[in-house]
């Protein structure tokens, strides 16, 4: 009876346990199905992302790597081939493709902030919005122009033959008439792109050196407006990537590039033979017809830089072949281009040209045909270079030839006095320069004041004038008060500066100290600091305009020879750190 009662109690419990087990198993099976569906969904989503990434990668590769043009052949005609632009080994590996993807996804904000100090703007133009077109000579206009220097009809014909053999379907325009400006010639271009080609240049027939590569670069990089290459003269290669600088009356050219786009160097200027977009000419109003062909392209690229709206590139592997390569300095040495350089010099306010080899062309050197003439005449220079003003009153560096002549005069006069035991001391602005910079101040007004002791005016003139005449210098008595002397050739006389004013003094000579000035030990009054405090006050170390109490600041906006705005530097108390001044 007890066993029966136990069974009666346990049987319902077992049924309930089995029922609960079935419910739990059913629930777990259902959850397993849901889990599998979730996994499948996640997998499908992941696969879709991989597919999209591969698609994007292919587009990036096609954009950044020149498309391989496969050789096409037919069974009937094996001669119809297209040039192979890249080899099969140029195809990137998977690891390189991953790097390309990562590079493409670089945060633009980070890229811009890392280069803000250089004013570089990386834009979406790096990834062209359109599919690059294949090069077709019929879509290009080639403009051949001839400079007047070293022009050779034979070389001109070689250039035309080179074009005809390689690109017979290209449009050609010849600039043969010197009276026709390059601007006028370019205005006849109807194609999107043009190629400026100098007389004497022969185009390379090698695929990786051809102008096809310039076309391809312009198509791939919409930010580039103009692009050139290298000159190959014999076995000497001249890569034409130039950095331009206007500073302190000097136009300097150096071999530097700002950044790169694949195998394109972004420069200020490139070769005089170059390819460009016709539409981009309007950004800088084309070429300046007042500039001679010798420097018309340099002027063009310099204005492009100053506009801050044009990008210039150089593809160093593209070759322009020449029998010889003549730099501006070499042309200058030949003595044939002085008159051709002057319009550029006046326009951009320069007296000196410095090339990438640091060769110097000084238009106003004593050996120059311009010495003492035109812009090398101080009076005329004021009109041509400063709109009638004087550098000492406008916060401008003195003309280079003025400073050069002053240095020569200081050296010659003090050396002469030392040799003849003449008691003298240098006073005025030069003494200030000796303390501030150990040199004549680069904004010196234009003369050196020297006190000469123990002599009358007549005695001083009798001593100095024969010596000046013997050495070809120009000396004379000025207003019965002083002797003026220019230690420059007599034909320059007063026109090119370098004046020393010698003041005779009847009193006994003071004690003196020597301070090295422009490389020589020069005498100054032992009490000259006392004189500084008397005439200039405690702020004699501040830089002020000539004969004024105003702190120096440039009064001619954007002039390349502007002095620093000393008013804004250290509240007018700036010194002579080189960082304050533009450096050539």
Residue 177 binned pLDDT confidence (cut-offs 50, 70, 90):
low
The pLDDT score that the predictor gives to residue 26 is 65
Over range 79-94, report the average pLDDT. Answer: 40
**Choice between 47 and 372, residue whose per-residue pLDDT is larger:** 372
Retrieve residue 316's tokens: 């160093």
Please enumerate in sequence order all residues whose Cβ is within 8 A of that of 515, keeping only pairs 6 or more positions apart, or say none: 434, 435, 438, 521, 522, 524
**Gap between the Cα atoms of 121 and 124, Å rounded:** 10
Phi, psi (degrees; rounded to nearest 5) at 50? -60, -45
Please enumerate in sequence order all residues whose Cβ is within 8 A of that of 220, keeping only pairs 6 or more positions apart, or say none: 63, 64, 128, 132, 262
SS3 523: strand
Residue 149 binned pLDDT confidence (cut-offs 50, 70, 90):
low
Retrieve residue 503's tokens: 């003041």
Over range 456-481, report the average pLDDT. Answer: 93
Specify burial of residue 79 (Cβ count, 10 A radius: 0-12, 13-18, 19+). exposed
User: Options 3.40.50.1950, 3.40.50.720, 3.40.630.30, 3.30.460.40; which CATH number does 400-541 get?
Assistant: 3.30.460.40
**Choice between 268 and 17, residue whose per-residue pLDDT is larger:** 268
CA atoms within 13 A on the CB side of 489: 9
Over range 133-155, report the average pLDDT. Answer: 82
Retrieve residue 559's tokens: 């002039």
CA atoms within 13 A on the CB side of 207: 10
Q: How far is CA 492 from CA 236, 322, 350, 498, in A?
A: 42, 41, 20, 10
The pLDDT score that the predictor gives to residue 209 is 96
Over range 474-490, report the average pLDDT. Answer: 90
The pLDDT score that the predictor gives to residue 173 is 86
Asked if residue 171 lies in contact with residue 191, where contact means CB atoms within 8 angstroms, the answer is yes
Retrieve residue 581's tokens: 């001044």
The string of pLDDT tens digits covering residues 277-294 is 999 999 999 999 889 888
Asked if residue 582 lies in contact with residue 247, where contact means CB atoms within 8 angstroms, the answer is yes
Phi, psi (degrees; rounded to nearest 5) at 264? -110, 125
pLDDT above 90: residue 55: no
The single residue listed with the structure tokens 């804004």 is 568
Over range 566-578, report the average pLDDT. Answer: 92
The pLDDT score that the predictor gives to residue 130 is 63
**Gap between the Cα atoms of 430 and 407, Å rounded:** 10
Q: How far is CA 423 from CA 62, 79, 339, 413, in A?
A: 81, 92, 46, 12
Over range 514-519, report the average pLDDT. Answer: 97
Lowest mean pLDDT among 91-105, 196-210, 324-338: 91-105
Lowest mean pLDDT among 12-21, 52-61, 92-101, 112-121: 112-121
The single residue listed with the structure tokens 């050739």 is 489
pLDDT above 70: residue 546: yes
What is the value of pTM for the model shown? 0.75
SS3 141: strand
**Gap between the Cα atoms of 361 and 365, Å rounded:** 9
Asked if residue 566 lies in contact with residue 552, where contact means CB atoms within 8 angstroms, the answer is yes
**Gap between the Cα atoms of 15 and 23, Å rounded:** 12
The dihedral sign for the CA sequence 8, 11, 13, 19: negative
In the DSSP assignment, the letter for residue 55 is H
The pLDDT score that the predictor gives to residue 572 is 92
**Structural domain boundaries of the chain?**
137-245+256-325, 333-388, 400-541
Over range 282-310, report the average pLDDT. Answer: 92
Beta bridge partners of 245: 252
Asked if residue 156 lies in contact with residue 201, where contact means CB atoms within 8 angstroms, the answer is no
**Gap between the Cα atoms of 448 and 424, Å rounded:** 13
**Choice between 441 and 339, residue whose per-residue pLDDT is larger:** 441
Q: What is the mean pLDDT of the chain?
A: 82
**Choice between 420 and 30, residue whose per-residue pLDDT is larger:** 420
Retrieve residue 398's tokens: 């003195």
pLDDT above 70: residue 213: yes
Asked if residue 392 lies in contact with residue 563, where contact means CB atoms within 8 angstroms, the answer is no
The pLDDT score that the predictor gives to residue 47 is 53
**Gap between the Cα atoms of 250 and 573, Å rounded:** 27
The pLDDT score that the predictor gives to residue 122 is 40
**Choice between 58 and 271, residue whose per-residue pLDDT is larger:** 271
pLDDT above 70: residue 3: no
pLDDT above 60: residue 516: yes
pLDDT above 90: residue 582: no
Lowest mean pLDDT among 1-15, 23-37, 334-348, 449-463: 1-15
**Gap between the Cα atoms of 150 and 549, Å rounded:** 54
The pLDDT score that the predictor gives to residue 214 is 97
**Gap between the Cα atoms of 380 and 388, Å rounded:** 8
* Second CATH level (architecture) for the domain 137-245+256-325: Alpha-Beta Complex (3.90)
The pLDDT score that the predictor gives to residue 62 is 44
The pLDDT score that the predictor gives to residue 108 is 36
The maximal CA–CA distance of the chain, rounded, in angstroms, is 162
CA atoms within 13 A on the CB side of 53: 14
pLDDT above 80: residue 150: no
pLDDT above 90 coverage of the chain, percent: 60
SS3 412: helix
Residue 408 zone, left/alpha/beta (φ > 0; ψ -120 to 50; rest):
alpha
The string of pLDDT tens digits covering residues 380-412 is 999 999 999 999 999 999 999 999 999 999 999
Q: What is the 3-state composition of the chain as percent helix, strand, coil, each rounded to the nearest 5?
A: 40, 20, 40
Over range 8-30, report the average pLDDT. Answer: 63
**Gap between the Cα atoms of 26 and 333, Å rounded:** 101
Over range 220-245, report the average pLDDT. Answer: 96
Residue 223 binned pLDDT confidence (cut-offs 50, 70, 90):
very high
Please enumerate in sequence order all residues whose Cβ is within 8 A of that of 525, keeping only pairs 6 or more positions apart, or say none: 425, 427, 431, 451, 510, 511, 512, 513, 531
Nearest to 70 by CA among 54, 48, 85: 85
């Amino acid at each position: 009876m007890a066993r029966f009662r136990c069974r009666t109690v346990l049987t319902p419990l077992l049924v309930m346990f089995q029922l609960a087990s079935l419910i739990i198993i059913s629930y777990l099976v259902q959850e397993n199905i849901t889990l599998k569906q979730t996994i499948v969904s996640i997998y499908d989503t992941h696969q879709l992302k991989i597919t999209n990434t591969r698609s994007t990668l292919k587009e990036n590769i096609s954009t950044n790597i020149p498309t391989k043009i496969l050789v096409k052949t037919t069974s009937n005609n094996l001669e119809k081939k297209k040039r192979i632009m890249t080899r099969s080994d140029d195809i990137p590996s998977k690891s390189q493709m991953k790097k390309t993807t990562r590079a493409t996804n670089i945060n633009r904000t980070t890229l811009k902030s890392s280069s803000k100090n250089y004013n570089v703007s990386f834009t979406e133009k790096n990834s062209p919005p359109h599919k690059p077109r294949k090069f077709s000579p019929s879509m290009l206009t080639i403009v051949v122009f001839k400079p007047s220097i070293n022009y050779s009809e034979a070389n001109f014909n070689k250039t035309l033959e080179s074009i005809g053999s390689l690109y017979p379907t290209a449009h050609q325009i010849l600039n043969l008439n010197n009276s026709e400006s390059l601007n006028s010639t370019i205005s006849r271009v109807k194609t999107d792109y043009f190629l400026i080609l100098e007389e004497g240049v022969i185009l390379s027939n090698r695929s990786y050196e051809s102008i096809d590569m310039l076309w391809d670069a312009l198509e791939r990089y919409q930010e580039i407006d103009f692009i050139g290459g290298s000159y190959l003269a014999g076995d000497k290669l001249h890569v034409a990537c130039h950095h331009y600088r206007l500073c302190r009356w000097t136009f300097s050219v150096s071999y530097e590039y700002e950044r790169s786009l694949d195998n394109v160097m972004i420069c200020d200027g490139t070769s005089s033979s170059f390819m460009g977009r016709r539409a981009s000419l309007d950004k800088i109003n084309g070429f300046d017809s007042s500039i001679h062909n010798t420097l018309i392209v340099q002027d063009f690229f310099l204005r492009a830089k100053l506009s801050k709206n044009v990008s210039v590139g150089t593809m160093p592997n593209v070759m322009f072949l020449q029998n010889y390569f003549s730099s501006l300095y070499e042309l200058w040495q030949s003595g044939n281009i002085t008159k051709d350089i002057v319009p550029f010099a006046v326009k951009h306010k320069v007296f000196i040209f410095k090339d990438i080899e640091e060769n110097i062309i000084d238009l106003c050197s004593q050996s120059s045909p311009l010495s003492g003439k035109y812009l090398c005449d101080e009076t005329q220079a004021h009109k041509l270079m400063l709109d009638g003003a004087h550098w000492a009153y406008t916060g401008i560096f003195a003309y280079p030839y003025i400073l050069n002549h002053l240095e020569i005069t200081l050296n010659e006069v003090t050396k002469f006095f030392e040799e003849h035991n003449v008691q003298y001391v240098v006073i005025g602005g030069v003494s200030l320069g000796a303390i501030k910079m150990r040199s004549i101040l680069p904004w010196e007004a234009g003369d050196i004041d020297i006190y000469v002791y123990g002599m009358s005016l007549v005695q001083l003139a009798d001593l100095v004038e024969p010596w000046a005449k013997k050495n070809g210098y120009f000396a004379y008595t000025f207003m019965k008060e002083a002797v003026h002397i220019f230690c420059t050739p007599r034909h320059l006389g007063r026109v090119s500066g370098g004046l020393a004013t010698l003041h005779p003094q009847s009193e006994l000579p003071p004690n003196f100290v020597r301070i090295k000035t422009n490389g020589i030990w020069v005498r100054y009054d032992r009490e000259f600091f006392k004189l500084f405090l008397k005439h200039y006050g405690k702020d004699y170390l501040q830089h002020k305009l000539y004969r004024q109490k105003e702190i120096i600041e440039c009064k001619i906006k954007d002039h390349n020879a502007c002095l620093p705005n000393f008013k804004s530097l250290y509240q007018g108390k700036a010194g002579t750190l080189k960082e304050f001044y533009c450096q050539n």
